[in-house]
Amino acid sequence: MKRILLAGGNSGGHIFPGLALARALSEQGVGQPLFLDHQTPMERKILPDCGIERISPPWSGIGTIGDAFLRVLPARRWLAHHRIDAVIALGARPAVAVGIAAWTTRLPLFLLEQNKVMGRANQCLSRIARKVFLTWPIDGMSRSLRSRSAILGCPVREQFVASPLKNDPKPQLLIMGGSQGSEPVNQMILETAERLKNRRTIRVHHICGDEKTDGIQQRWNQLGIDAEVRSFIEEPAQTLIDSSLVLGRSGGSIVAEVCCVGRPAIYWPYRHRDHHQLENARHVSASGGALVVEQESPAQIAQWIDDLIENRSRLEQMADSARSLGCPAAARRIADVIASHLGADQSGSSGHFEEVVEVRR
């Protein structure tokens, strides 16, 4: 069976799509997935219980993209030692060295891009990849990249299924800070909560990241708002299904999960230099599934929350619009394409690539 290495998991936004794809590869008999494990904090939190084999690289630390070029030769020997047959880069720096090493040894290299704007690691690898799997259309693609791209959506775990909004007596506001920049979200949402008119008619589920939960819980209690504060979601799919409105960052994997379930959202993009979270949020907003915080204003956000909580029909319309963008079968479809390429290698195919395709539910 083909041994397929998934590389690039230094954040939840890369690890969770990788896990979803790994399970599809295994269940569909495409190959045996393995995770490249750099022992980053998120990898230590998520990977031990994932049921997928992990292998450590022959170097320590993620390093820079520049460091990756110095690691290509040891990566070549390491890939051969572990009998790797293909590499899937998940869109972060840990994938660069093994991605280049795979290309130099003629192993198939596949890329997974979760965002509306391609990250630097994938930009580095995109010219040598066998196939590039996109979540959304990307502006300004070259003809070469178009010929090797497929817009199939971001892989999500199978628990994220389309679900109607619940008729709860108290609508639930789910707040997610994300793995980067959670502190500004936590502080701004508490300032926003002070301005809510409907504070006693909602229930809040606040995922605050690695900050101390006790102090944040106390602030909600002082405001008289029914709130539960956690540092991490144990059952993220069910928590999302139970929600009526989502407020949080707009990384590609979070947006994909919200759209697959079908939930209205107020997205608060983290201001990366490439603005990929902002572009993700705007893409959903353009379809009517979300509102986007362009300027940080607690008064404006409080007004949005109050208006939406009071307008059930608007919430349902936004939920339907978000759901129309969901691609719950993305992992299976990507696994099918990878299987066709690996099978073509075995049959001596000439390796022609299909034009860019876009598949929805």
Q: Which domains does the chain have, with CATH numbers?
A: 3-156+328-358 (3.40.50.2000), 172-324 (3.40.50.2000)
Residue 347 — very low, low, confident or very high, per pLDDT cuts 50/70/90? very low
Pairing of strands 172-176, 203-207: parallel
Q: Give the pLDDT score at 345.
A: 62
Q: Tally helices (H) and strands (E) across the chain.
A: 15, 14
Q: Using the 8-state DSSP alphabet, how is residue 55 labeled? A: E
Average pLDDT on 331-358 reads 69
Tell whether the model's pLDDT for residue 82 goes beyond 70.
yes
Q: What's phi and psi for 112, nearest 5 deg?
A: -120, 115
- Determine contact, residues 37/31, Cβ cutoff 8 Å: no
Whole-angstrom distance, CA of residue 219 vs CA of residue 215: 6
Ranking 184-188, 309-313, 325-329 by mean pLDDT, the lowest is 184-188
Tens of pLDDT, residues 263-306: 999 999 988 888 999 999 999 999 999 999 998 899 999 999 99
Q: Give the pLDDT score at 295.
A: 85
Q: Give the pLDDT score at 211.
A: 65
- Determine contact, residues 115/251, Cβ cutoff 8 Å: yes
Closest CA to 176 of 41, 317, 270: 270
Q: Enumerate residues 6+ apart whose C-beta is below 8 A from 20.
A: 155, 156, 157, 158, 330, 331
Q: What's phi and psi for 35, nearest 5 deg?
A: -105, 130
Average pLDDT on 44-51 reads 87
pTM: predicted TM-score of the whole model, two decimal places = 0.91
**32-36, strands of its sheet edge to edge:** 53-55, 32-36, 3-7, 86-89, 109-113, 131-134, 149-151, 357-358
Angle between helices 252-261 and 12-27 (to 10 degrees): 60
| Structural tokens at position 341 | 């390429």
> 176 in helix, strand or coil?
strand
Q: Give the pLDDT score at 26.
A: 96
Please count the residues of the chain. Answer: 361
Tens of pLDDT, residues 115-156: 999 999 999 999 999 999 999 999 888 899 999 999 999 999
Q: Give the pLDDT score at 140.
A: 80
Average pLDDT on 94-121 reads 96
Tens of pLDDT, residues 156-207: 999 999 999 998 889 999 998 755 446 778 888 899 999 999 888 999 999 9
Q: Give the pLDDT score at 181.
A: 47
Identify the H or E element spanning 63: none
- Determine contact, residues 162/323, Cβ cutoff 8 Å: yes
Whole-angstrom distance, CA of residue 75 vs CA of residue 98: 6
Q: How far is CA 119 from CA 71, 93, 151, 188, 306, in A?
A: 20, 10, 16, 27, 35
Tell whether the model's pLDDT for residue 8 goes beyond 70.
yes
Residue 42 — very low, low, confident or very high, per pLDDT cuts 50/70/90? confident
